[in-house]
Amino acid sequence: MEKKGGHDENNLYVTVETPVAHLVADEAITTSSTSTKDAKKPHGKMASFTELFQFADGTDYVLMSVGTIAAMLTGAGQPIQITFFGDIINAFNPPTGNEAPGAFQTNINKVVYQFVVIASIILVCGFGQIACWSISASRQSKKLRHAYASAILRQEVGWFDVNEPMQLATRVADTTLLVQEGMGRKVGDGMNFLSMGITSLVVAFYYGWELSLVLFAFTPLIGVSAYCMTKSITAAVQGGVEAYAEAGGIAEESLSNIKTVHMFNSMTTVANKYMSALLRTEQAGVKKGLAVGFGTGVMYFVMLCTYAVGMYYGAVRITNDQLGPQKCVGSGCYDGGRVIIVFFSIVMGSMALGQAGPSMQAVMTARSAAYEIFE
């Protein structure tokens, strides 16, 4: 503040130069923005997995337990189906002369009944997995939203100076939605894929460890390619969501202050700002398309290479055991059904372990969002 003095013939006067109003406003906005950014900086910390379920009651624990068992049974049921495929392939072999009449139809009917039973079990368990985890997550997220909103309303007035009130409602909805997703169906999906992957590998090594070891060399490539494709798609989708949220915020702010926009003749500026945000959504869509195309191509390339190696080595084993000078006798001999079981079990196991990655990522995101809420 600067004082200036002066006088005329009759009066002595003192003038005071005050700060310019827009400079004060700019300084206030800058301070508020800085404080807001500081408040929004990620902590880099996560809540523990058990803290996600601190609002669970007895009913929720029962639902989660049933959902866990159902998820593991659903995952284990998929590779068991492959063993039935192997049995039905062997049942299609031409009957030998020493087999009883009707043995061919009896073997086929046996496998058909097995398919009906496993399909019924997977139907019930799959429904139970999704229903139990989704209901439990909805119940807990309701309590979490109530506690989060109550905590915000109890904050002091100064807290709202560094946190934009217009974004609090959106933050409550979005953050709790991330937590709900990470402690609900995604947990069940992760257990499903892990159970499927482990069971597939166990089945494969049980039916033929030699062929399993050959195919197992391709497992990391299939899993990594599937995970990288899903990771790229998720990142592109998240970028598009953030860009759309920014564009929506610009539109909401300009429409709620439409008189101010017209008063300063800022229609073109706001429209250009909105268009810039939409351009980022377009770029995110292009990245998503490239990620899907490249990732799918790489994954199928590795998968088909695995098919080629597996079928070649399986044919070699069948030739040695069934068409050699001394035909193999016993349960450890390779035939068409055994090769199919080992082959598809390894492929399914590697893909299942790769698909478990996004579910684990959703849980990690929920833990990070939960830390923000609990703090």
pLDDT score at 126: 94
CATH superfamily assigned to domain 209-333: ABC transporter type 1, transmembrane domain (1.20.1560.10)
Residue 334 has pLDDT above 70, yes or no: yes
Residue 3: φ, ψ to 5°: -100, 140
SS3 content of the chain, % helix, strand, coil (to 5): 80, 5, 15
pLDDT score at 330: 72
pLDDT score at 3: 45
Q: What percent of the chain has pLDDT over 90?
A: 19
Instruction: Give the best-scoring range by mean pLDDT among 69-83, 140-154, 223-237.
Output: 69-83
From the centroid of its chain, how far is CA 63? 22
The model's confidence at residue 37, banded by pLDDT at 50, 70 and 90, is very low
Its CATH class, for the domain covering 48-205+358-375, is mainly alpha
Residue 119 has pLDDT above 50, yes or no: yes
Query: Is residue 248 left, alpha or beta, with left meaning phi > 0 and alpha meaning psi from -120 to 50?
Result: alpha
Specify the range with the lowest mean pLDDT, choosing from 19-23, 172-176, 177-181, 370-374.
19-23
Mean pLDDT of 310-338: 83
Query: Is residue 265 left, alpha or beta, with left meaning phi > 0 and alpha meaning psi from -120 to 50?
Result: left
Residue 28 has pLDDT above 50, yes or no: no
Contact partners, residue 87, CB within 8 Å, separation at least 6 = 107, 110, 111, 114, 337
Residue positions counted in the chain: 375
Tokens encoding 273: 């700002």
pLDDT score at 44: 54
Specify the range with the lowest mean pLDDT, choosing from 114-128, 202-216, 246-260, 305-319.
246-260
Mean pLDDT of 185-214: 91
pLDDT score at 30: 37
Return mean pLDDT, the chain.
78
pLDDT score at 301: 87
pLDDT score at 96: 63
Residue 124 has pLDDT above 60, yes or no: yes
Tokens encoding 144: 């979490």
Residue 41 has pLDDT above 80, yes or no: no
pLDDT score at 22: 39
Specify the range with the lowest mean pLDDT, choosing from 136-150, 229-243, 264-278, 353-367.
229-243
**How many Å apart are CA 300 and CA 292, to the nearest integer?**
12
The model's confidence at residue 72, banded by pLDDT at 50, 70 and 90, is very high
Answer whether 48-205+358-375 and 209-333 agree in fold.
Answer: yes
Residue 53 has pLDDT above 50, yes or no: yes
Residue 120 has pLDDT above 90, yes or no: yes
Specify the range with the lowest mean pLDDT, choosing from 12-21, 79-88, 157-166, 296-305.
12-21
SS3 242: helix
> Nearest Cα to 178, choosing from 41, 370, 322?
370
Give the residue with greater pLDDT, 360 vs 19.
Answer: 360
User: Model confidence over 257-308: pLDDT tens digits?
Assistant: 888 878 888 788 888 888 888 888 788 778 878 877 887 788 788 888 888 8
The residue ranges of every structural domain in the chain are: 1-41, 48-205+358-375, 209-333
CA atoms within a 13 Å half-sphere pointing along the CA-CB vector of 142:
8
